[in-house]
Structure 1
């Protein structure tokens, strides 16, 4: 009985290990960046929607972080589709010009968000429009290029 249980546990452990993404692979790097972008964006949106207390200094810092992150994941999309459990549709590689166009749009709107945060104290009403543009840019790319 002990041997059978040991074999089952080792098999389960081996299967779990196979599902992991190498953090140094292009897939692993872009997944980490997208995860950081999502967390940062959720915090900013949470502050604007009252889910989190609004803090102008934190918001401005988060906007700068989001802007920096928005420039990073694209370098980790190789010219040819990579192996692994990616949420990216094949269209990322088939329609690279459009994919990169949407990436640039995201970079532009995160830059606009940073510009609005340069003068303190921040006005929540003035931040909603630029943040809506950031969220719309994310959604546009996800709609065309991400498996949900």
Structure 2
């Protein structure tokens, strides 16, 4: 009897959890997936430069290229008019689109500069700190203006 009750509670919990999810094919779902990938990649790169993760030159180069590619993709998933959803984006994304685009462009420039910095031979982690900081600062600037924290 206890096992049956436990299974019913578990099934009910899973059902309720599924109801509040974001459609992964929606614009919100698409950009959330991309931003999560960007965050994970950026954290790994920053971790290598801060000593939390062992610096691995080829892995850093690969991560910088991935971050650069990702930085160009979430913007297409912001529709011209705000959709009704549980987005962390402020209404300013749609009200101040020129500024939002400017910050997106700055991020893209900074991730491209990070990729260029990875072409220096020999690759030294100390030489990557400034371009990585510029990428992180770009993320922070956009979050401060356009994300509900």
* TM > 0.5 fold call: yes
Aligned to 2:91: 90
How far 1:125 moved relative to its partner?
1.2
Output the aligned Cα RMSD: 2.0
Q: Structure 2, unaligned stretches of length 5 or more?
A: none
CA distance in 2, matches of 1:87, 1:49: 28
CA contact (8 A) 1:48 1:54 kept: yes
How far 1:11 moved relative to its partner?
5.5
CA contact (8 A) 1:92 1:99 kept: yes
CA distance in 1, matches of 2:18, 2:27: 18
How far 1:134 moved relative to its partner?
0.3
CA distance in 2, matches of 1:61, 1:141: 24
Residue deviations 1:9-54, cap 9 Å, x none? Answer: 6664443222101111110000000000000000000000000000
TM-score in terms of structure 2 length: 0.91
CA distance in 2, matches of 1:128, 1:6: 51
Aligned to 2:37: 36
How far 1:118 moved relative to its partner?
1.1
Q: How does 1:1-148 map to 2 (within 5 A)?
A: 12-148=13-149
How far 1:82 moved relative to its partner?
1.4
TM-score in terms of structure 1 length: 0.91
Change (3 A) 1:10 1:114: same
CA distance in 2, matches of 1:137, 1:71: 13
CA distance in 2, matches of 1:124, 1:41: 15
Change (3 A) 1:9 1:110: same
CA distance in 1, matches of 2:8, 2:44: 44
CA distance in 1, matches of 2:7, 2:56: 52
CA contact (8 A) 1:56 1:120 kept: no
CA contact (8 A) 1:56 1:121 kept: no
